[in-house]
Amino acid sequence: MTGERSILRWGSVPVPYAALWSAEEGKMTVDVCRHINHLACCDAEARGVGKPIFGKPHMGRQREVIVNDLCDLCARPLKGRTKVSLSHARVSATGAEGACVMQVEPLVHKDCALVCVQHCPSLKRDIKAGTLFVRQVLKHRHQIALLTTAAVQEFCGVSRDGVAGHAKVELQRWKDRDLSWLEAGGANA
Ligand SMILES: [Zn+2]
């Protein structure tokens, strides 16, 4: 498996491991996803072929990094490192255990979050505009959501029940942070 998850670059820009590539786009099928051992909406597998589509995750790799607790950018384990959420998701108080954030964006290492922000002008703009939130994640868990039959029909062109979509990350405890915290370093704090 070593090397399979190495970071690919597009010009000088590191491409997040879970990002979709153009050769993978528009060919979704219902198949057993090996990362969750369950029927799921699956994109074609052709990482590195064509152009990366930043901001659009590959269904299988999105589930892979989330259920295995890996960084969205470098695909290495998050465990034991400062974990960061860069997400447009707002706090919801509907969780049984109080406030939570439910997001589809996988978590990233702090230094990887900085790389993402430095290479993506829209992330930086959204953080400054207050529509993208920087959070240091202290406790989280993942969930796999099942799609409605209508959604499966729309994505994959077949009518099936019990098909998984994206994995979701539920933030249970976190600290609100900002760009200056991200830029201050201390990646292993
Ligand atoms: Zn990383």
Give yes or no for a contact between 162 and 97, defined as CB atoms under 8 angstroms apart: no
Give pLDDT tens digits for 34-61: 999 999 999 999 999 999 998 889 999 9
- Whether residue 91 lies inside any domain: the answer is yes
**What pLDDT was estimated at residue 121?**
79
Cα of 73 vs centre of ligand 1, distance in Å, is 5
Distance 104 CA to ligand 1 centre (A): 17
51 token code pair? 């152009």
Distance from the alpha carbon of residue 133 to the mean position of ligand 1, in angstroms: 18
Distance 95 CA to ligand 1 centre (A): 28
Would you say residue 189 lies in a domain?
no
How much distance in Å is there from the Cα of 67 to the middle of ligand 1? 15
pTM, entire model: 0.91
pLDDT < 50 stretches in the chain: 1-3, 189
CA 71–ligand 1 middle distance (angstroms): 5
pLDDT at 2: 41
Task: Give a yes or no: residue 1 inside a domain.
Answer: no
139 in a structural domain: yes
Task: Tell me whether residue 93 is in a domain.
Answer: yes
The number of residues in the chain equals 189
On whether residue 73 sits in a domain, the answer given is yes
Number of domains in the chain: 1
Find the 75 Cα to ligand 1 centroid distance in Å.
6
The pLDDT value recorded for residue 94 is 67
User: Is-contact 59 39, C-beta < 8 A?
Assistant: no
Span 3-28, pLDDT tens digits: 468 889 999 899 999 999 999 998 89
The rounded Å distance from CA 84 to ligand 1 centre is 10
**Contact 9/20 with Cβ under 8 angstroms?**
no
Measured CA to CA, the distance from residue 41 to residue 139 in angstroms comes to: 28
Give the range of the structural domain holding residue 64, as residue numbers without chain letter. 8-183
- Tell me how far CA of residue 105 lies from CA of 12, 18, 29, 138, in angstroms: 23, 10, 22, 16
Give 42 Cα–ligand 1 centroid separation in angstroms.
24
Does residue 28 lie in a domain region?
A: yes
Q: What is the DSSP letter of 74?
A: T
Expressed in angstroms and rounded, the spacing between residue 109 Cα and the centre of ligand 1 is 4
